[in-house]
Structure 1
Amino acid sequence: MSPTRILILGALLDGPMNGYGVRRRLEFMGADQWANVAFGSIYHGLGKMADEGLVDVVEAGKGGKVVYAINDTGRMEFYRLLMGSWTTVQPIIDPFQVALTFIDKLQKEDVVAALHERRLQLATNVEAVARAVGAKQRHGAPAHVNENLRLMRAMLQAQLDWVEQAIPRVESGELP
């Protein structure tokens, strides 16, 4: 299940647009903050979905600008992928958890220093995301866009809580 595919097809539900338009729509929804979309993949994805018959090329303009529209097959695929995302729980791959797996390979001082740095970054991100809630609405985004930001903040806060509990455990020698 490709989140980028869902995002591209979903953006096209608002009407035909080129790759730049899809990118702007996703940025408007805040997807650049919570979806980890490589915006270069939008253009590749649109071309691939056109080849697969999910979107139609409705205009091929000068300078290579191509306008795409979702078709009925694409709508069905969007719905299938969307419902799969609602009902399937998948692991979140976090590079930090990979690093945590090898905590015993580092010196205690290095782990403590890294955790303090992570704590600062997480606290900064929690505050930034909290400030972003509602900001998108002032520019016309629908209210439900805030829910992605609230979920992202909760996930960051959970990591921050864990880090704050882990630091004294590492310092005392309880971890690793």
Structure 2
Amino acid sequence: MAVPTTRMLVLAVVRLLQPVHGYDVRRELLSWHADDWANVKPGSIYGALNTMQRDGLVAVEGVTQEGARPERTTYRLTKEGEKVFGDMLREAIWWTEQPKNPYSAAIALLPHLPREEVIAALRGRILKFEAELVFYDREQERILAGSGDPAESEPHHVADAIRLTADHVRADLTWTRKTLERIEKGELDVWTDWQRLDGGSMTI
């Protein structure tokens, strides 16, 4: 069973910056781009803190209020939270199952779309991945140029999480380029064979 990533990352940030306010936990995780490589929904962070407080994993350190602003609740990790975080991290670091990619199903069904549309989709995919890699590479450089102190900037090891995501994108980009080249050269022609088998009746 996969580890609940949002819970683990929220516990980690509370552990790093405690006592810490929920807004700062959210800001920290967004600065790590956890919404990209860990699919952390920004709106779920406050809910995770509330649930973890109920479960005894974090405790309220204090509540302050400045003027008419809403109250600010700060949290600290409990002993139980420390234990649960350690267990989750150990399970996650040993996890080796590859995520199921729904794109694989689409590739298995290529003959059901016109060749020209598939080529256009692959070209669009290449452009998107190329832009993402420029962004990820710049973010790695920016993070590594900082101090690495969580109180000042993103920890340096966050760059490794971004690099892992970038490497997956890079592998997908390589596959897409090669597949597009094979289709354009006629080396991969699933449409001719499909039309012969299907009698040319399949249209979408």
Alignment partner of 1:159 is 2:161 = no
* Cα distance between partner residues in 2 of 1:48 and 1:102: 42
Partner of 1:76: 83
Q: Which has the larger radius of gyration?
A: 2
Equivalent position to 1:134, from 141, 144, 160: 141
* Cα distance between partner residues in 2 of 1:96 and 1:142: 33
2:60 aligned partner, one-letter code:
V
How many residue pairs align between the two structures? 176
Write the deviation string for residues 91-124 of structure 1: whole angstroms up to 9, x where unpaired.
3244433433432321111111000000111111
1:7 aligned partner, one-letter code:
L
SS of match in other structure, 1:59: strand
1:72 aligned partner, one-letter code:
K
Partner of 2:132: 125
CA separation of 1:57/1:98 partners in 2, compared to 1, >3 Å: closer, same or farther? farther
Unaligned runs of 5+ in 2: 148-153, 191-204
TM-score, structure 1 length as denominator? 0.89
Partner of 1:52: 55
Equivalent position to 2:163, from 140, 145, 150: 150
Unaligned runs of 5+ in 1: none
2:38 aligned partner, one-letter code:
A
Greater displacement, 90-99 / 109-118: 90-99
1:163 aligned partner, one-letter code:
T
User: Please, what is the CA RMSD of the aligned residues?
Assistant: 2.0
* Cα distance between partner residues in 2 of 1:175 and 1:13: 54
Shift of 1:53: 1.1
Alignment partner of 1:13 is 2:15 = yes
Alignment partner of 1:88 is 2:95 = yes
Alignment partner of 1:42 is 2:45 = yes
TM-score, structure 2 length as denominator? 0.78
Identity within the alignment, % = 30
CA separation of 1:127/1:84 partners in 2, compared to 1, >3 Å: closer, same or farther? same
Partner of 1:24: 27
Shift of 1:61: 4.1
* Cα distance between partner residues in 1 of 2:13 and 2:138: 25
